[in-house]
Structure 1
Amino acid sequence: MPQLEVDGAALTYDDEGPRDAEDVPLVFVHGWTADRHRWDHQLAHFSTGRRVIRLDLRGHGESSGAGVRTIAELARDVLALLDHLKVERFVLVGHSMGGMISQTIALLHPERVERMVLVNSIGKMAYSRGRGLLMAASTLVPYKLFIATNIQRAFAPGHPREEVREYIRASAGTPREVVMTLYGAMRAFDILDRAGEIRTPTLMVHGYHDIQLPVRQMLRMAKAYPDAVVRILDAGHELPVEKPAELTAALDAFLTVKP
């Protein structure tokens, strides 16, 4: 797989599909503790007709690097890759933390983002006092238990257990420093006051059973967007792998509607 050196990290990425396609490239950004393979179904579908780019964020998957402290720093990594590939304008598709990165890019460079899709993502993590204390306490348990608990909660009830175990094992391979630092970065993320500035046509797709980032938090963000379409699917927080075909169909429908 190709890699790009950016500020001490080697970012692994895929760049597939026709370069001469009429439509701008799709750029897929995965979430916390995940990797670019969350988008396998979408890559296979869309790369037959348009350019598709996805990457492993620093410290995730096959990318090296640590030391990142904020969502904005991850956004700069994505932009560095797109600049390297000479991609000026694109469609962003971000899952969970990847949606936070996507919104950051849309605020920094609205002229470059043709459309945006936010999958199980929000503009601000909001907790009741009790849940906030519980989440803070969860960081004190052994690392593998912390990972296992968070990944288990990400899937809707009834998802095949062995598949969930595979994702737990993969997530546990993400360095502890990266996981815990970005956990804090997500909790600090807040663009709600600026959401109205994002004029990019946006699709928000969310899992009805998402308890990591509940639907009500997404709807709180959606009402601030001047141009947003909302889709709710029968899934949990891991829509790209829980309902890959339904998510792909939702993306397809959104992308084919002329602005």
Structure 2
Amino acid sequence: MPQLAVDGATLTYDDEGPRDGDAVPLVFIHGWTANRHRWDHQMAHFAPKRRVIRFDLRGHGESDGSAKTIDELAGDVLALLDHLEVDRFVPVGHSMGGMIAQTLALTHPERIERLVLVNSISRMAFSRGRGLLMAASTLVPFKLFVAANIQRAFAPGYPREEIREYIRASSATPREVVMTLYSAMRAFDVLDRVGEIRTPTLLVHGYHDIQLPVAQMLRMATAYPDAVIRIVDAGHELPVEKPAKLTEALDWFVTDRP
């Protein structure tokens, strides 16, 4: 379990797979209140044949520290990859991790081989009623706030006991980290700039995602010059709800697509 000190934080990461192939590394970036183990299925699939890197964002999982903006988190990714002597890579970002991945594609396009966004969008846009509901939700007790957000992230029918485990894990994320990055996600807006991202992009989204609805992803997709869309019968937590489907789409995109 290697770690790296970065600007007041200690990042815990995994770096697996062969270094001698032609394929650039896959870099997995998890979402809000999650951790690097969201990518267990993808790591197990890809590590035997190519280099794969994942890490806990600062303040999440086994990493400490805190951040106030998506840009700061993107800086951590680059610091880790510079430490590992990785130049070009494929960022695979889930939810908030996808926002980080888009930031990297816009600020350092020369380092991005391909881009994969899972249940992510470029701008959080809601109706007036939904916006008021989200604002009100921050006033409830912290554990209830986290539980409500994680509960609704899964598609109907997902095992309740497994959801409870994810709620417990998310609730262990420090309150300051959770609330600060919640605000950072709501403020994130690069929708008017995604047309600048010329690298091939894969957008994988859960049909039942009510956190970041499909309609918002499709609005984003129309702005991408070179994007492929995959819709999966899942909610917002696609990496754990339908891991094999995500791995299949990712494998095709990074291995078989021209």
Do both share a fold (TM > 0.5)? yes
Partner of 1:248: 247
Residue 248 of structure 1: how far off its partner (Å): 0.2
SS at match of 1:246: helix
Q: Distance in 1 between matches of 2:221 and 2:59?
A: 30
User: Hey, what's the Cα distance between the residues in 2 that align with 1:210 and 1:47?
Assistant: 29
Q: Which residue of 2 aligns with 1:77?
A: 76
- Show CA shifts across 1:172-212 (max 9, x none): 00000000000000000000110100001000000000000
Deviation at 1:220, TM superposition (A): 0.5
Match of residue 55 from structure 2: 55
1:137-173 deviation line (CA, Å, top 9, x unaligned): 0000000000000000000000000000000000000
Task: State how far apart, in whole Å, the 2-side matches of 1:184 and 1:128 are.
Answer: 17
2:154 equivalent in structure 1:
155
- Structure 2 CA distance for partners of 1:155 and 1:258, relative to 1, 3 Å: closer
1:187-202 correspondence to structure 2 within 5 Å? 187-202=186-201
CA distance in 2, matches of 1:162, 1:109: 41
Partner of 1:225: 224
1:257 deviates by 2.8
**1:255 Cα deviation after fit:** 1.1
**Is 1:25 paired with 2:25?**
yes
Give the TM-score of the pair, scaled to structure 2.
Answer: 0.99
What's the CA shift string for 1:31-63, capped at 9, x where partnerless? 000000000000000000000000000000000
Deviation at 1:258, TM superposition (A): 4.5
Which residue of structure 1 aligns with residue 6 of structure 2? 6
How many residues align? The count is 258
Amino acid at match of 2:233: D
SS at match of 2:135: helix
Alignment partner, residue 15 of structure 1: 15
Name the CA distance, whole Å, in 2 between partners of 1:129 and 1:12: 39
Secondary structure of the residue that 2:60 maps to in structure 1? Answer: coil
What letter is aligned with 1:101?
Answer: I
Question: Which residue number in structure 1 is paired with residue 34 of structure 2?
Answer: 34
Structure 1 stretches of 4+ moved >6 Å: none
Query: Residue 40 of structure 1 aligns to a residue in which SS?
Result: helix
Q: Encode CA deviations 1:94-120: one digit per residue, 9 max, x unaligned.
A: 000000000000001101000011000
Amino acid in structure 2 at the alignment position of 1:203: L
Q: Secondary structure at the match of 2:14?
A: strand
1:87 counterpart residue number: 86
SS at match of 1:114: coil
CA distance in 2, matches of 1:164, 1:69: 27
**Corresponding residue of 2:185:** 186
| Counterpart Cα distance in 1 of 2:162 and 2:51 | 29
Q: What is the CA–CA distance in structure 2 between the aligned matches of 1:192 and 1:250, rounded to whole Å? A: 24
CA–CA separation in structure 1 for the residues paired with 2:56 and 2:211: 22
Q: Percent identity?
A: 81
- Give the partner amino acid of 1:80: A
Secondary structure of 2:114's aligned partner = strand
- Within 2, Cα distance between the matches of 1:111 and 1:164? 39
CA distance in 2 between partners of 1:218 and 1:71 (Å): 19
**Aligned AA (1:65):** G
Whole-Å separation in 1 of the counterparts to 2:68 and 2:49:
36
The match for 1:109 is 108
Alignment of 1:111-150 (within 5 A): 111-150=110-149
Task: Supply the AA of the counterpart residue of 1:159.
Answer: Y
Structure 2 letter corresponding to 1:81: L
Structure 2 CA distance, aligned partners of 1:23 and 1:42?
Answer: 16
Given residue 26 of structure 2, which amino acid in structure 1 is its aligned partner? L
